[in-house]
Amino acid sequence: MLDIGIVGCGKIADGHIEEIQKLGCARVVAVCDLEPILAEQLAVRFSVPHRYTDFSRMLSEHRLDVVHIATPPQSHLSLAQKAADAGCHVFLEKPLALNATDGRRLIDCMQQSARKLTINYWYNFEAPGLALREFVAKGNLGDPVHIESYYGYDLEGGFGQALLSDERHWVHQLPGKLFQNIIDHAINKITPFLPDEPMEVIARAYRRRHSKDDRTDGVLDELRVMILCGGMSAYITFSSHARPVGHFLRVYGTKNTAHIDFALRTMSVENKQAIPSALGRLLPPFKSGWQSLRQASHNVREFAGSRFQFFAGMNRLLSLFYESILHDTPVPIPYPELLRVSQIMDEISLQVYPAPAA
């Protein structure tokens, strides 16, 4: 049984504890937040026996196996270093750190302490993400040629409104502001396919919304990115205004093309058309409909088996991470992928929020 501590008791911490409590190999024994009321409320909601406002004290009073860090990225490096010094493995909320340099230091710290680290890229561990991984591993895609990763966002939601109404919000202190807090959801789906070669990143961003508060006018809300790497290309789109709010990945290969819809939790495949002429254009819609029916049936079975929850991917990721600790197996996400996401985010931030000229 792994003893778990959580630092950072905001909304996402609820999801962490809910999924931990579904596993049979771990229990949350302590939570910590600088705001006493947040720590208290989280502890009461989930019957966690201990709560703290001092992270060092929590580490000293409990022999924790894993610390979940769910704080803003400015604090990730220092908190992870303290956790590693106390002998704890670390499960980290995205993004990895404030920048790629801190991300490298964080990973080096964990490796030097012989502790394991992973980050909550949970969409890749939902059923469609795992199906895509298997599809590619079997050679059905061929060689990746191009990838499109799309992530939609609703600024009218609670987090967006809090950000745009308060110039002191912690997201404003990030080099990439809103994008840096969210865009790794789109980037981390691309990095597993990119070859280990130099990249060219071209990023453009703008503000489309009509401002209601000039104090936060500097927050851009539409982003387009192109990546070129070793004969491959990729597009990343972040949109706060397109409706419905979408979240999908499209991977073009030399054999087939795969489309993952993370909002609908479906995967479909487009094959090369082998039947000529008009008949060849007539059959594909039937094939597409059949794939949709199969996906719907699969999702119904997942729902009936209580495996269709919102954080199903996080549950799978947590299970794999805890197994890697208990059985000393590789972590579910390789560290070079974590660093590459952070490096791409740095380049995006540099281009869309350039430093003022001297």
- Domain of 280, CATH number, reads 3.30.360.10
| 9 and 106 share one domain | yes
Q: In what order do the strands lie in the sheet with 2-7?
A: 50-52, 26-32, 2-7, 66-69, 89-92, 117-119
How is residue 307 written in tokens?
Answer: 């495996």
| 114 and 137 share one domain | no
In the predicted model, what is the mean pLDDT of residues 95-106?
97
What whole-number distance in Å separates Cα of residue 199 and Cα of residue 235?
Answer: 13
How is residue 18 written in tokens?
Answer: 């809910």
Structural domain contains residue 328: no
CA distances from 199 to 222, 233, 235, 347 (A): 22, 10, 13, 10
| 144 and 210 share one domain | yes
Among 34-48, 184-198, 260-274, the range scoring the smallest mean pLDDT is: 260-274
| 156 and 22 share one domain | no
Structural domain contains residue 320: no
Q: How many domains is the chain built from?
A: 2
How is residue 317 written in tokens?
Answer: 């990721």
**Tens-digit pLDDT profile for residues 78-94:** 999 999 999 999 999 99
What whole-number distance in Å separates Cα of residue 147 and Cα of residue 353?
Answer: 25
What pLDDT is recorded for position 358? 60
pLDDT of 239 over the 80 cut:
yes
In the predicted model, what is the mean pLDDT of residues 225-251?
97
CATH number, domain of 12, equals 3.40.50.720
- Could you list the residue range(s) of the whole structural domain that residue 13 is in? 2-119
| 161 and 46 share one domain | no
| 236 and 90 share one domain | no
What whole-number distance in Å separates Cα of residue 261 and Cα of residue 271?
Answer: 18
Domain boundary among 119, 141, 167: 119
Structural domain contains residue 347: yes
Q: Is the peptide bond before 244 cis (omega within 30 degrees of 0)?
A: yes
Domain boundary among 119, 140, 156: 119
Structural domain contains residue 77: yes
| 219 and 89 share one domain | no
| 91 and 136 share one domain | no
Q: Which of 104, 61, 106, 100 is nearest to 79 (CA)?
A: 106
Predicted confidence band of residue 212 (pLDDT cuts 50, 70, 90): low
What whole-number distance in Å separates Cα of residue 179 and Cα of residue 182?
Answer: 5
| 61 and 175 share one domain | no
pLDDT of 283 over the 80 cut:
no
Structural domain contains residue 317: no
| 182 and 207 share one domain | yes
| 274 and 291 share one domain | yes
Note every long-range contact of 228-232, with CB atoms under 8 Å and residues 24 or more positions apart, other chains counting: 228/199, 228/200, 229/194, 229/195, 229/197, 229/198, 229/199, 229/200, 230/194, 230/195, 230/196, 230/197, 231/195, 232/144, 232/145, 232/146, 232/147, 232/193, 232/194, 232/195
In the predicted model, what is the mean pLDDT of residues 18-38?
97
What whole-number distance in Å separates Cα of residue 122 and Cα of residue 112?
Answer: 26
pLDDT of 120 over the 80 cut:
yes
| 146 and 183 share one domain | yes
Structural domain contains residue 109: yes
Domain boundary among 60, 93, 119: 119
Q: What is the mean pLDDT of the chain?
A: 93
In the predicted model, what is the mean pLDDT of residues 1-8?
97
